[in-house]
Amino acid sequence: MSAAPPGRAAAQSAAPVRVWDLPIRLFHWLLVVLVSFSIVTAQLGEAWIEWHMRSGYTILALLVFRLVWGFIGPHTARFSSFVASPRRIAAYVRGGMREHGAGHSPLGAAAVLLILFILSIQVASGLFANDDIASEGVLAAWVSKATSDWFAGLHDLNAWFIYGAIALHLGAIAFYQFARSRNLVGPMISGDAPASEDSPTSPVRDGWGTRLSALILFALIACAVYFLAHLAPPALG
């Protein structure tokens, strides 16, 4: 039995492996663009509120897509593959936050759920909010002015949690880059990570069939959100 030459073995173990499917990567970078756009347009006043809401409705479609993809998507996208118990998270932290295989780490998974939750609160409250001028979310007409004002207050307050979550998110990525020499951003762009770092038993599913099903799913969700955004206000009386 002949052992593989060390150089070859190293090259093989560092071969890139697909860890993030294209739909997850597109979801992520679209979310980054739209959340940033929503934050900027929120500061620009009434002239930009229509665009603020359009961006928000698109974020709603992205979040619903991510929820469904978390059940039917490829391995690393599935909630069942990355949601960890508090005990596992504690063990990972005690172990110095080192190797954790492909996909989100146990602690990262908790952060991901938190970001998705905070964004959902923002979108849901926006749907019921009004700006005391001429604009309101599509569902504001279905509740009293006082309730709509309450949601507007929640919307304003929750924005601070979004800023905090983004700062933590970027801090965590910088920590892995500089303190753990682990580049997380590259795989979120290309989809691939060196097998030596992220060693899934097999690459995640990312063929054209998977991508097409994601596209069809997103198109269906986008249609539903479009109808929601154009919902007629309740009839008076």
Q: Where along the sequence are the contacts to ligand HEM (CB under 6 A)? A: 24, 27-28, 31-32, 35-36, 38-39, 42, 52-53, 56-57, 59-60, 66, 104, 108, 112, 115-116, 119, 122-123, 126-127, 129-131, 135-137, 152, 155-156, 159, 162, 166, 169, 173, 184-185, 188
**DSSP element (H, E) containing 16:** strand 16-18
If the CB atoms of residues 126 and 191 are measured against ligand HEM, the closer one turns out to be 126
Contact 24, 67 (CB under 8 A): no
Q: Least distance from C-beta 169 to ligand HEM, angstroms?
A: 5
If the CB atoms of residues 9 and 175 are measured against ligand HEM, the closer one turns out to be 175
Q: Least distance from C-beta 237 to ligand HEM, angstroms?
A: 25
Closest listed residue to residue 82, CA positions, set 198, 161, 168, 220: 198
Q: Which amino acid is at 200?
A: P
User: 110: which residues sit within 8 A by CB, 6+ positions away?
Assistant: 84, 89
Q: Least distance from C-beta 6 to ligand HEM, angstroms?
A: 29
What tokens does 67 get?
Answer: 């929820």
Q: Which residue intervals of the chain are DSSP H helices? A: 6-13, 22-43, 49-72, 79-82, 86-94, 106-128, 145-179, 185-190, 208-229
Q: Least distance from C-beta 147 to ligand HEM, angstroms?
A: 13
Q: Least distance from C-beta 217 to ligand HEM, angstroms?
A: 14
Residue 96 burial (CB < 10 Å; 0-12/13-18/19+)?
Answer: exposed
If the CB atoms of residues 4 and 233 are measured against ligand HEM, the closer one turns out to be 233
Rg (CA), the chain: 21
Contact 186, 193 (CB under 8 A): yes
Q: Least distance from C-beta 109 to ligand HEM, angstroms?
A: 8
If the CB atoms of residues 161 and 220 are measured against ligand HEM, the closer one turns out to be 161
Other CB atoms within 10 A of residue 16 CB: 15
If the CB atoms of residues 60 and 204 are measured against ligand HEM, the closer one turns out to be 60
If the CB atoms of residues 13 and 160 are measured against ligand HEM, the closer one turns out to be 160
